[in-house]
Amino acid sequence: MHFDISTALTLTSLLTLAVGASLRFAASRYPPELRATMRVWIGGLFLQAAALFAPALVGTSPEPILVVPLNFIYALAYAEMGRAVNLFTGRPRSYFGLVLVAIVTLVSILLALVWQDDRWRVALNSVPLALLEYSVAHAILRDRTPLRPADYLTGALFVACASLALSRGFVVFLGPAIVPHETYVMLTNLVYVFSSVLPMIGTIGFVLMCGDRLNDDLARLAMVDPLTGVYNRRTLAGLAATAMEESAVTGKPLSLLALDVDHFKRINDEFGHDVGDETLCGLVGLIQESLHPEQILCRLGGEEFAILAAGLGEAEACLTAERVRRHVAASPLSVAGNDLSLRVSIGVATLNAGNGDLTSLLRDADRALYSAKRAGRDRVAAASHAAAGVAFSPASPLP
């Protein structure tokens, strides 16, 4: 069998279609946000397949009337891939790609149908086409941390294709009087080879990027409470273990605040669990407004939360708890048209030689919390005072 560029483009086009069809099937197993991104990429992939297959049918030098739609499809394929990456990274849609597609189409119309100058058409179109490829790489690599091997693979491939397209355009611009014909043929073949490889390897890279995102999301979901978005009890255990090790090394104190919403059951009974869930999300916002960035909020379950406060002794932790309590009390929440005023009780325990693990620290904080509840709720209690049967009222000065 005679193997030439047309044959290679035919095979590549068919393989690209197969990859796109396989990805379309696999995308159904991904979460909705990734599925939408993958569908846009698949659209660009099918456009690439069409742009590669047409030259195989009509030759690598198609009739002028076919140049315009072919260049339009080829440019639009890259614009769609760029849009897919922007969706993937959560950036707003950019119309830069569509502007470049319009430029490619206009240049093709003028220099294929009006003036029929292939040399200037190829030279001028190499710039917007290269910019389209660079824009995909830029969208992949820009302002994203950490970058994974799949990001580098996919971005580098688009950069290589863009660089080759620019090089070919520059050689065509210089003309055969300056650049040997063999050099032009070599660059043209390289452009066709990379253009053939790009859809498949680029798609592999993109799928790996989606896989990395999925793994990150699963890891994050294992760490956070799905309702409120703050860390869960399992993550608290790991963070507390690290904080306790640091406390043992540095000698700095470590405190834990146990927080519970007073009479929360009334909200669920009166307004329903949906309102209760929204209320908890609003409460998390109020608590976080009262904390320093290094202080960690976790949901233990139901309406009970914990705050890990490294570097704070009991007195300082009680002041932090009181600041949280007062901010919650002074900030009514509007939920589903209902104005809800919340009150919270908070127990404070501090790490010392007698409670050197999370279980005992939580137990002491819970004991202080129950002391605050028994004393009338809407107040802060410390574990050392709870042991003596003392709780702080909202009006009492804190130690």
Residue 297 dihedral angles phi and psi, to the nearest 5°: -100, 135
Contacts of 300 (CB under 8 A, 6+ apart): 233, 236, 258, 306
| pLDDT the model gives residue 391 | 47
End-to-end alpha-carbon separation of the chain, Å? 90
Both structure tokens of 46: 């099918």
Please indicate whether residue 303 is annotated as part of the active site: yes
Residue 140 dihedral angles phi and psi, to the nearest 5°: -70, -40
| pLDDT the model gives residue 397 | 42
| pLDDT the model gives residue 59 | 56
Q: What is the pLDDT along the chain (399 residues), one digit of tens a residue?
A: 444 666 777 777 888 888 888 888 888 888 888 999 999 999 999 998 888 776 656 555 567 778 888 889 989 999 999 999 999 988 888 889 999 999 999 999 998 888 888 888 888 988 999 999 999 999 998 877 788 888 998 999 899 888 888 888 888 778 776 767 777 777 777 777 777 777 888 888 899 999 898 888 888 888 999 999 999 999 999 999 999 988 888 888 999 999 999 999 999 999 999 999 999 999 999 999 999 999 999 999 999 999 999 999 999 999 999 999 999 999 999 998 888 999 999 999 998 654 567 888 899 999 999 999 999 999 999 998 755 544 454 544 443
Q: Is the pTM of this model over 0.85?
A: no
| pLDDT the model gives residue 56 | 59
| pLDDT the model gives residue 39 | 93
State yes or no: cis peptide before 146, omega within 30 of 0.
yes
Domain 5-223 coded CATH 3.40.50: no
Q: Start-end ranges of CATH 3.30.70.270 in the chain?
A: 231-386
The highest-level CATH class for domain 231-386 is: alpha beta
Instruction: Name the nearest CA neighbour of 232 among 244, 220, 247, 214.
Output: 220
Interatomic CA distance for residues 394 and 22, integer angstroms: 63
| pLDDT the model gives residue 395 | 44
| pLDDT the model gives residue 58 | 58
Torsion region of 316: left, alpha or beta (phi above 0 gives left; psi -120 to 50 gives alpha): alpha
Q: Annotated catalytic residue: which of 80, 133, 278, 303?
A: 303
Query: What pairing do the DSSP bridges indicate for beta strands 296-301 and 380-382?
Result: unpaired
Spatial contact of 300 and 267, defined as CB atoms under 8 Å apart: no
